[in-house]
Amino acid sequence: MSRHFSLCIRKFSVCWLAFCALALAGCSPSTPQATVAGFTTAIFQNHLDEAAGYLSPQNLPAQDKSRAREMLGAAAGQLYEKMLADGGWEGISVGKPEALDGDQVRVKAVVTLKNGKTDELVFTLAKESEIWKIVSTQ
């Protein structure tokens, strides 16, 4: 389960980056931990526009908007169904940021599902205009 769940969230994150250009909702978390927690919570509550506001457009692939929306919907549906099959989302524990080059940090988070299974995710974030945004996940 853990490997499949990680793969789903990675695919989902790539699609979120593509969808970011479509997002109208703005988020202004003041810490990397708040960004990761907000993003993950929005995904598991199926609030797509809100989650997209946590992503950085800096790695946005050159795709047309309709294709990005289609990819996002498919990835979100797959991740959401997988989460429900594992009993639902219980919560997330977000660690302290580890400094990288420039205004970037790495944050580890552990997602806990209601069936007791956990999965570790690693996020890279960048500070853009005093707001922390997600650049990538591992």
Smallest Cα–Cα separation from 44: which of 7, 90, 107, 93? 90
pLDDT band, very low/low/confident/very high, at 93 (cuts 50, 70, 90): very high
Residue 87 has pLDDT above 50, yes or no: yes
- The distance from CA 133 to its chain's CA centroid, rounded to whole angstroms, is 10
Which pLDDT belongs to residue 25?
37
- What is the per-residue pLDDT for 95? 95
Integer Cα distance of 37 and 50 in angstroms: 12
Q: Does domain 2-137 have CATH number 3.10.450.50?
A: yes
The domain segmentation of the chain, as residue ranges, is 2-137
The stretch 56-75 carries a mean pLDDT of 59
The single residue listed with the structure tokens 């993950």 is 40
Are 72 and 51 spatial neighbours (Cβ–Cβ below 8 Å)? no
> Which pLDDT band, with edges at 50, 70 and 90, does 3 fall under?
low
Range picked from 19-28, 76-85, 91-100, 127-136 for highest mean pLDDT: 91-100
